[in-house]
Structure 1
Amino acid sequence: MYNLDINIAHEILNWLIGLVGHIPLPLAGVGGGIEAKESVDIAATIKFTLVFIAGVGAIFGFGLAFAAKKFSVQMDPRIEQVRDVLAGAQCGACGFAGCQQYAEAVVANAEVKPSLCTPAGKHAAEIISALTGKKAVAMEPVYSRIMCQGDCKKSIKKFKYEGVRDCRAAVLAGGGDKSCAYGCLGYGTCASVCPFDAIHMNEFDLPVVDIKKCTGCRKCAEACPKKVIEILPGSKGVLVACHSKDKGAATRKNCQVGCIACGMCVKVCPFEAPSITDNVSKINLDKCRMCGLCATKCPTHAIVDMLLPRGKAVITESKCIGCNMCMKVCPVNAASGELKKPHTIDAARCIGCGICVAKCPKQAIDGTFNAQEVFEKAAQKKQSA
C-alpha cells in the first residue's frame, strides 16, 4: 500500500511538471528505481524550479483574473464623486458608519437626503443634489448640549481621584468621584474624542461646546459614561441642564445648580411643556415655544436659556387697538396701557418670551425672536464662521 501511494504521488507530480516542461522526476523510496549521479546540475535545478513556480503562478493568475471579471460588481461612478465632496471626517453625523457608506446610500436610496453631511456644509449638499437629482433641503443644525452645570465650584466630591484623566477611567473607581451619581465628571473625554475640536474644558472642569465648530456627530455623547450630553436642534435652547434622579434634598446637598423637582417650571409654563418625572424636570421640546419663562423662574437655575440675548417686544401704535390682551398674557407684567388706547412694553421688564406676539389679535407686536429666526441666525453664524 505504501509503495502504491508513492507511485500515485509520483505520477501526479510528473503530470504537473509535464505542464511546464515535460521534465521527468526520478523515482526514490521503497519499490522505486534510483538513478545515481556523481554530481548535481545546480543551474538546471534552479531553472526547473523557476519554470515550475512561474507556471503555477500563471495558472492561478489566469484563474483569479477570470474570477474577478466573472464576479465583478459595477459601481456607480457617482458614488466616488459624492465621496470626494464629503468632509472625510468619518464622524457619523449623517447617521451612517462612514463617508463611503453615506455616499453609497445617497446615490442608491431615493429617501436618503443629500444634505446629511453637516461638516461639508451647504456647498457640498448642493453638489450632491446635482449629482443625485435630488432636491436640497436645508437641515436644522444640531449641537451637543451639556446637560449638567455642576462644575468643581458648584458641586462636591466624595473622594479625591488621582488616576488617568479620563471620564471612562474615573467611572471605574466607584462610579466616579462626584457625589452626584448623574453629573459630569469633568475629565475631558468628550473633548478628547471630538474630531472637530468643538469641545473644550473650562477652568472649572466643565465642557463647553463651540457651536461654530460642532456638527452634532454624536461621538462625545457616545463616549460620555454618564450620558450627560444630548444632541439637540439649535432652535431648542431652553433645557433642564440636569439629569439627577435624586430627591430634592439630596440634589441640593450635592450640587448648587441641580434640579430639585420643585415644579415651578410646570406652574409658570403657558404651553404645558415641563413635567416632573423621576425627581427631575423634563421639557417636552415639541410643546416648548422657547419663551424662556421657566428659566427665569427656576430657583436653582437648573434650566438654561441658550437663546439669550433675546429681542424685546415692541408695540406698533398704529396697529394697537388697546385690547389689553398683551397685559393679560405677559408673565412679567411688562405690558401696560389703558383700554382702547395704544399700549407700551417696558423693555427693562420684557424677557423676550414672545407670548404677547402670539396672542395679539392685530399682530401689533414684534421685535422678538421665534424658533425659526433663532435657527436661521444659528445657520448664518455657522456659515460665516
Structure 2
Amino acid sequence: MGASILYAAAVIGIVGILAGILLGVASEKFKVKVDEKEIKVREALPGNNCGGCGYPGCDGLAAAIAKGEAKPDACPVGGEAVAKKIVEIVGGEIDSVRHVAHVKCAGTCEKAKDAYDYVGPEDCQIAANAPGGGPKGCSFGCLGYGSCKRACQFDAISIVDGVAVVDKDKCKSCGQCVLACPRHIIEMVPEDAGAIVECNSKEFGKDVKAVCSAGCIGCGLCQRNCPQGAITVKDHLAVVDYAKCTGCGTCKEKCPVKIIK
C-alpha cells in the first residue's frame, strides 16, 4: 500500500516536472514579441479612440507609429504636446500646422430657403434621405439637424440659426464631424487659413441666388483680383489654395455676396 502511494506520488511529480518544462519551452517558442516603442507611444496617446487618425483607435495608431507607418503627430486630439512626447520616443518631425473643422455654409434660416416643411427625426442622415435630399432649397447646404454636433466628442460644434458652427478653440481635429455630414460640407482647414469660403454650392449663380442669398455665385472677382493667385473658381465655386493665401483680404473685399471671411 505504502509503495503504491509512493509510486503514484513519484509519477505525479515527474508528470508535473515534464509539464512545467514543456510549458516553459512553449512559452519561449510561441511568445509574442512586444515592441517597447509601441508600448511607450500608446502610453503617450490620449486614449480617446476617436479614429480621427485613420487607424482603429489608439492601439492601432501606436503600432503604426512604432513601425514607421504613421507620423509622430498623427494624433489630432493630442496635438503638439503629445506629438513632442512621441518624437522623443521614435524620432521624426512634427507638422506644426494645426487643422480645424470648417463648415462650408452660411445659409442661415434667414438667408436660405426651404423647399418644403420637413416633418421627421431631426437628424441630418435621415433628413438627407427625404425627397430632394432634404428640405433645404440648396442641395449643397447645411441641413442643420446636428449629426455633426452629436458626432463631436469635444463639444466643439453647435447649431446656430440652422447652420453648424465650429468652435476652433475646442476642435481637436478628429474629423468625426466630416464623416458624419451626409452632404460633405465640413472640411479640415489650417487654423491660420487666410481666407475661407463659406459656401459649398456648385450650381450656376442664378440658381444659387434663387435658394440662398449667401451663396457663392461663381463670378470670379475673387480669382481675378487675388494678388497671390490663391483663389480659383471650380464648378462655379471659389476654392482657396491655403498654401498660397497670405490673408491680404482682397478676395473678401471684392466678393459681392460676402461669403469669404
Write the deviation string for residues 3-56 of structure 1: whole angstroms up to 9, x where unpaired.
xxxxxxxxxxxxxxxxxxxxxxxxxxxxxxxxxxxxxxxxxxxxxxxxxxxxxx
Matched with 1:165 is 122
Matched with 1:200 is 158
Matched with 1:219 is 176
**1:250 equivalenced with 2:207 (yes/no):** yes
Q: Is the 8 A contact 2:53 2:75 kept in 1?
A: yes
Q: CA separation of 1:77/1:144 partners in 2, compared to 1, >3 Å: closer, same or farther?
A: same
Matched with 2:232 is 275
- Runs of 5+ consecutive residues of structure 2 not aligned to the other structure: 1-20
Q: Is the 8 A contact 1:251 1:260 kept in 2?
A: yes
The share of aligned pairs that are identical, in percent, is: 38
Query: Which secondary structure state, in structure 1, belongs to the residue aligned with residue 210 of structure 2?
Result: helix
Write the deviation string for residues 301-330 of structure 1: whole angstroms up to 9, x where unpaired.
1212xxxxxxxxxxxxxxxxxxxxxxxxxx
Q: CA separation of 1:295/1:88 partners in 2, compared to 1, >3 Å: closer, same or farther?
A: same
Matched residues in 1 for 2:82 and 2:175: separation? 21
The ranges of structure 1 where at least 4 consecutive aligned residues each deviate by more than 3 angstroms after the TM superposition are 62-70
Deviation of the 1:287 alpha carbon: 2.8
Deviation of the 1:266 alpha carbon: 1.9
Query: Which secondary structure state, in structure 2, belongs to the residue aligned with residue 155 of structure 1?
Result: coil
Per the normalisation by structure 2, the TM-score is 0.84
Letter in 2 for 1:127: K
Out of 144, 157, 163, the residue aligned to residue 101 of structure 2 is 144
Letter in 1 for 2:204: K
Out of 284, 299, 302, the residue aligned to residue 256 of structure 2 is 299
Matched with 2:36 is 77
Per the normalisation by structure 1, the TM-score is 0.58
Tell which deviates more after alignment, 142-151 or 213-222.
213-222
Query: Which secondary structure state, in structure 1, belongs to the residue aligned with residue 238 of structure 2?
Result: strand
Q: Is the 8 A contact 2:194 2:248 kept in 1?
A: no
Matched with 1:308 is none
Deviation of the 1:93 alpha carbon: 3.2
Out of 113, 117, 131, the residue aligned to residue 71 of structure 2 is 113
- Runs of 5+ consecutive residues of structure 1 not aligned to the other structure: 1-61, 305-385
Matched residues in 2 for 1:69 and 1:187: separation? 56
Q: Is the 8 A contact 1:142 1:232 kept in 2?
A: yes
Matched residues in 2 for 1:148 and 1:141: separation? 22
Matched residues in 2 for 1:129 and 1:270: separation? 38
Letter in 2 for 1:176: G
Matched residues in 2 for 1:263 and 1:83: separation? 48
Q: Report how many residues are paired.
A: 243
Deviation of the 1:168 alpha carbon: 0.3
Rg: which structure is higher? 1
Matched with 1:210 is 167
**1:124 equivalenced with 2:82 (yes/no):** yes
Matched with 2:143 is 185
Tell which deviates more after alignment, 246-255 or 276-285.
276-285
Matched residues in 2 for 1:191 and 1:166: separation? 10
Q: Is the 8 A contact 1:86 1:120 kept in 2?
A: yes
Write the deviation string for residues 143-181 of structure 1: whole angstroms up to 9, x where unpaired.
001101001111000111121111000011011100111
Letter in 1 for 2:186: I
Tell which has more relative contact order, 1 or 2 (C-alpha 8 A, sep 6+).
2
Q: CA separation of 1:70/1:165 partners in 2, compared to 1, >3 Å: closer, same or farther?
A: same
Letter in 1 for 2:36: P
Q: Is the 8 A contact 1:93 1:215 kept in 2?
A: no
Query: Which secondary structure state, in structure 1, belongs to the residue aligned with residue 207 of structure 2?
Result: helix
Out of 179, 185, 199, the residue aligned to residue 228 of structure 1 is 185
Q: CA separation of 1:168/1:64 partners in 2, compared to 1, >3 Å: closer, same or farther?
A: farther
Letter in 2 for 1:117: C
Matched residues in 2 for 1:274 and 1:78: separation? 43
Out of 95, 98, 101, the residue aligned to residue 60 of structure 2 is 101
